[in-house]
A and B are shown apart, each in its own frame.
Chain A
Amino acid sequence: MKAYLNRLNLTLIIVTYSVIVIVLLPQLSSYIVFIGITCAAWRIGHFIGRVALLSPLLLGLFAVAMSALTVSIIYSQGLFTLLLHLVFLGFSLKFLELRTRRDVYFFINTGFILTALFFIFNTSIGSALIASLLLLLLLATLLSLHVQQLYKKAFIKLLFKSCLISLPLASLLFVVIPRLPSLWKMPLQKQATTGLSDSVSPGGIAKLSRSSALAFRATFKDKVVPENERYWRAMTLDNFDGTTWSQSDQKKQQESLAKRGAGLSFYPTQKGNKVEYELIIEPHYNYWVPVLDYALTPSGLVSLSDYSLRSEQPIVTRKAFSIEQMDSVNTKKLTPVQIRQLTQLPTLNSAVENPQTEQWITDNLRKGHSKEQILRLLLARFSMHFTYTLKPPLLGKSQVDDFLFTTQAGFCVHYASSYLYVARRLGFPARMVTGYLGGEWQASEGFFTVRQYDAHAWVEIWSDGGWQRVDPTSFVAPERVESGLEASLTNSNEFLADELFSLQKWQSVELLNALRVRLAQMDYLWARYVVNFDNGKQLRLLQYWLAKFPWLNITYTVFLLMAAIFSALLLMIFKPWQRKKIALEDKLYLSLQSHFTQQGYPRQMGQSISDYCALLSVQKPSSAALLGNFAQRYNAIKYQPSLSETERKKMLRQLQLLIKQLIKI
């Protein structure tokens, strides 16, 4: 039966479609968004009666052409993006040809798939709410197909009621259904817009500092690391070309090995205090994991020789890691190759590029200062003359000279870079470390949030047979190390100048601050308990539950539970208890019908048995008598109220005999 769509259906469908387009907008290429908007416009035009729908043939041709176009455009972006675009294209085109219920079922199921895809890109609690709204809209559309006569209020009530009823089942399925490994590779084209990049030139981190986007969260098990020790190490940069600090080839090689799983591993060999904490990292599409010194290697991660951790896969979704750390490590002597790399400078041969710095170093050496004293003098200069600003003046070709003697203003990278330059010039093996500093304490939930504006760069110098951390920036504005970037800026307009609507900016308004803290906590809990509910956690939870019933086996229990759920669903769908019993005479009649239907003589709706048998008799004159008898007996059995039980049984037997003969024809 064809059921046509009414106004409510169409309104809901159009709203649903528009919301899905808006929600998926960041993931879609502009051309397919254009197609989507065109489809929506066309549909709305049809809705208000201005344009006709496309004919199925035309639409089919259009679909083929569009698919080919999509494949050719998106192909280079990887399979997953292609899949997403094709699904969306199908969704849009289906939207154009919705005419009957069956079309709407297709439309809604595709909508569910797109909602699932949306979850791949977004895992925060906010996006979960958006997706719930989406699901609600899809379900409302589905419901509107089946209840046409309900008033608005009753409709909404029914919608929420049925959603609430199915919520426990959904939660159970969430807990019980096994997590399959991903069937496709995630797209890696996503540019690392936020987060640290693997090369730093003064100016690169300034943009990052202003973003209040969340970088990661940390929960300390029992002991909290003091604030001036919370240097979250992400990467070390040991190669300088005069303007940019980057990783040396040696380092890159080590890292690429590590990404393939061949990194180092540190295990607790050292006595001393162990501190444990859990990290929940926001996706940054890179491999590094920010850790405090000196992290042991947890499962699933590998270590590099600079004590930083790398993930084997890029972090594209929110990930949680449990980290253990020690206060000290055994160190080995540096090899000559390492020393050469760690003292490398582009101007080692000709010191012309930063003549003033050269001059300053030579002067001090001539005055009889030791190398360590010169470094200390430099730090003293920082504390006396230099200012910290997020908007430093541009530096010329001689970067170090310009910064040290002309502008004397900058942020962490400027200080770290020039300090490193001087240290290496004096012959100390040294490297730049990038990462995050500090973090905001969420008192009520007991975790730190580290945001992108906490990004920082500092220096490590090899002396006394170990790496010593020096943070030149801290000499400029000591407050920055003690209480975060926010306090260190005297001109408060500079902080978060780009983000007018960020809640971060309004920390002084108590209510807003409370709201912000509450939101952060909820998002944290969401990430910790829902997004990162993986196979391991599932297994642990089930084991915890099942420990109470020692005779139960996890596999069988999960299997049984799933079987129970699905059989209940099947029962609900097919409702065997509502099926009518078919009387014997009707069964025989049905078998007669199916026999002759196969021969090409189906019974028409509403046709009585006598008419049907008369029709068959015309086709099969030889068995006209049998057919006539059959019709007469059937009518007698079915409609004669005065028939006695024995007569009835006799007639049924005759009917069976007749059908046996008839089916042979």
Chain B
Amino acid sequence: MHNKIENILAQLNSVLLGKEQQTQLALVCLLADGHLLIEDLPGMGKTTLASMLAKTLGLDYQRVQFTSDMLPADILGVSIFDSAKQQFRFHQGPIFSQVLLADEINRASPKTQSALLEAMEEKQISVDGNTYPLPSPFFVIATQNPTDQAGTFPLPESQLDRFMMRIELGFPARDAEMAMLKSANSALNINAVIDLSALQEMQQAVKKVATNDALLHYILSLVDESRYSGMAMSPLSPRCSKTILQASKAMAFINQRSYVIPEDVQAVFSAVTEHRLQGINYEKQGNGVLSNALLKRVDPLNL
């Protein structure tokens, strides 16, 4: 099983050069059954990473380019009167796929953004009083531009909270960019490394990763510090502590360990919490400021 993980990571890294940490986090997010938000300037490889993830994991995906005039029906689907059968028929929108690639999600109006809320949490949608289940697994991989760019609607906190992780790619290293330019004509022969059953197997294995009280105390101390130290504008919720645990388990799994250690928590902590801690104001501070401060204030060695 771990061979496959290495293969997945190798394939991802062969396309997205020099971004091992980000690809690892992205994989962790999907293994932990969470939605992923990738944020950066245009042209940094956000969409590449998102589409590659879907392809590598052998999932069928649909890509939606979000715009400001988009309506919820454009994503969810629409009921159209079928004159032959004399009734309305529901035409499924792009959301009915295993991976929804929501490109530039913050260009859509809040109304459209909120259409994703139910889908992401309940894995189902309701249209015209009918509820339709979404395929399983269901992931949303969204990309967004920094909110200070023109024509953006910042994601509200409730929407941000639906994403397990938010990662930033950042500029590549000089060597990596050089390598990228040399192989400019790469024909992107991306194959599915695993199939759906293997992915589900892995997700089950992640759930079985063990934790003990010492580790849970560490997570709780981190969460407490965000609540009672007065540092963070929006403290971490219980849902967030659950999410931290899930992500840490997936990280432990990727690191080939059957139990979680504080290092796993630290590895995922920034990606999981920073967007929740900063809330809607997150562009105003540098990346990872609050979460790293929290990590520095809470010692894993709790005597």
- Chain A residues close to B by CB (< 8 Å): 580, 582, 586, 589, 604-606, 608-611, 635-636, 638-642
Contacts and interface: CB of A to CB of B under 8 A. Distances in A.
A129 to B, nearest CB: 43
A604 B212 CA distance: 24
Nearest to A582: B303
Interface of B: 210-212, 214-215, 258-263, 266, 295-301, 303
Given A586-B303, A589-B301, A635-B261, 17 more contacts: A580-B303, A604-B296, A605-B299, A606-B295, A606-B297, A606-B298, A609-B300, A635-B262, A636-B259, A639-B211, A639-B259, A639-B261, A639-B262, A640-B210, A640-B259, A641-B210, A641-B259
Query: Which among B263, B295, B296 has the greatest number of chain A C-beta atoms within 10 A?
Result: B263
A443 B297 CA distance: 72
B301 A586 contact: yes
A582 B301 CA distance: 11
A638 B303 CA distance: 12
Contacts of B215: 639
Contacts of A640: 210, 212, 258-259
A582 B302 CA distance: 10
A294 B296 CA distance: 84
Contacts of B260: 639
A642 B303 CA distance: 22
B263 A610 contact: yes
A604 B300 CA distance: 11
A611 B263 CA distance: 8
Nearest to A641: B212
**6 smallest beta-carbon distances between A and B, as pairs:** A641-B212, A606-B296, A635-B261, A640-B259, A639-B261, A641-B210
Contacts of A605: 296-297, 299
Contacts of A606: 295-300
Contacts of B298: 606
B92 to A, nearest CB: 44
Contacts of B300: 606, 608-609
A585 to B, nearest CB: 10
Given A586-B303, A611-B263, A639 B214 contact: yes
A641 B154 CA distance: 42
A636 B259 CA distance: 8
A566 B284 CA distance: 56
B227 to A, nearest CB: 16
17 contacts: A580-B303, A605-B296, A605-B299, A606-B295, A606-B297, A606-B299, A608-B263, A608-B300, A609-B262, A610-B263, A635-B262, A638-B261, A639-B214, A639-B261, A640-B259, A641-B210, A642-B258
B299 to A, nearest CB: 6
A639 B212 contact: yes
B262 A608 contact: yes
B104 to A, nearest CB: 36
B102 to A, nearest CB: 35
A608 B222 CA distance: 14
Contacts of B263: 608-611, 635
B221 to A, nearest CB: 10
Contacts of B258: 640, 642
Among A589, A604, A611, A641, the most chain B Cβ lie within 10 Å of the Cβ of A641
A597 to B, nearest CB: 13
Query: Which of A604, A609, A635, A636 has the largest count of B CB atoms less than 10 A from its CB?
Result: A635
Contacts of A582: 303
A4 to B, nearest CB: 14
B282 to A, nearest CB: 22
A589 B211 CA distance: 21
Contacts of B212: 639-641
A641 B262 CA distance: 14
Residue among B215, B258, B259, B301 with max Cβ neighbours from chain A (10 Å) = B301
A609 B301 CA distance: 9
Nearest to A586: B303
A605 B300 CA distance: 9
A638 B266 CA distance: 16
Nearest to A642: B210
Contacts of B261: 608, 610, 635, 638-639
Contacts of A609: 262-263, 300-301
Nearest to B265: A608
A145 B197 CA distance: 62
A603 to B, nearest CB: 8
A410 to B, nearest CB: 81
A27 to B, nearest CB: 46
Contacts of B210: 640-642
A585 B301 CA distance: 11
Nearest to B293: A606
Contacts of A642: 210, 258-259
A608 B266 contact: yes
Nearest to B300: A608
Nearest to B212: A641
A635 B214 CA distance: 11
